[in-house]
Amino acid sequence: RSREMAKLTQLIDNEVFQAYATYATIVLLKMMLMSLITAYFRMTRKAFANPEDTASFGKGESAKKYLRIDPDVERVRRGHLNDLENVVPFFGIGLLYALSGPDLYTALLHFRIFAGARITHTFAYLIPLPQPSRGLSWAVGYAVTISMAYKVLKTALYL
């Protein structure tokens, strides 16, 4: 077993893989933060999606009025879904990219720009900043993922 562990440790000891692990974890944690922000807005705006969530506000009509759609909650939820749509491809393609033997400098460049773009995107969505802030930050993250996909397919293409 200790020899197998050694092999595993070699993966996580690789600098490119460490950089991938770091930035993938950061953007996944950032995505998870959206759940907390949604919960915060649901509670401060008193806008819930499930009858059982409003039970503590009383019974009948007095609770029912909190089953409603709030624009601030919906904004965070759109930001969360946009994260899912973009962080999932980054995680998947990024993992394969990290295993495709890029040089450390290029890999770090990809990971850092993606993480920066997604953090900017979140601020642009939640504040919100005037367009094209959100559109541009989305496009930068998208382009980084496409660039990594190109490297994966160039290295590993097997149809």
Structure-token match 């490119």, residue found: 16
> With the C-alpha atoms ordered 111, 116, 121, 123, is the resulting torsion angle positive or negative?
positive
State which of residues 76, 84, 105, 119 lies at the interface with a copy of itself (CB under 8 A).
Answer: 84
Question: How many CB atoms lie under 10 A from the CB of residue 78?
Answer: 12
Q: Which two tokens stand for residue 110?
A: 């990809």
The nearer residue to a copy of itself, 113 or 129, going by C-beta atoms, is: 129
State which of residues 116, 119, 142, 147 lies at the interface with a copy of itself (CB under 8 A).
Answer: 142
Rounded to an integer, what distance in angstroms lies between the CA atom of residue 40 and that of residue 94?
Answer: 31
State which of residues 109, 129, 136, 140 lies at the interface with a copy of itself (CB under 8 A).
Answer: 129
Question: Contact 53/37 with Cβ under 8 angstroms?
Answer: no
Q: Given the rule CB under 8 A, which residues bind a copy of itself?
A: 1, 4-5, 7-19, 21-22, 24-25, 28-29, 31-32, 34-35, 49-50, 52-53, 55-56, 75, 78, 80-81, 84-89, 91-93, 95-96, 99-101, 128-131, 134, 142, 145-146, 149, 152-153, 155-159
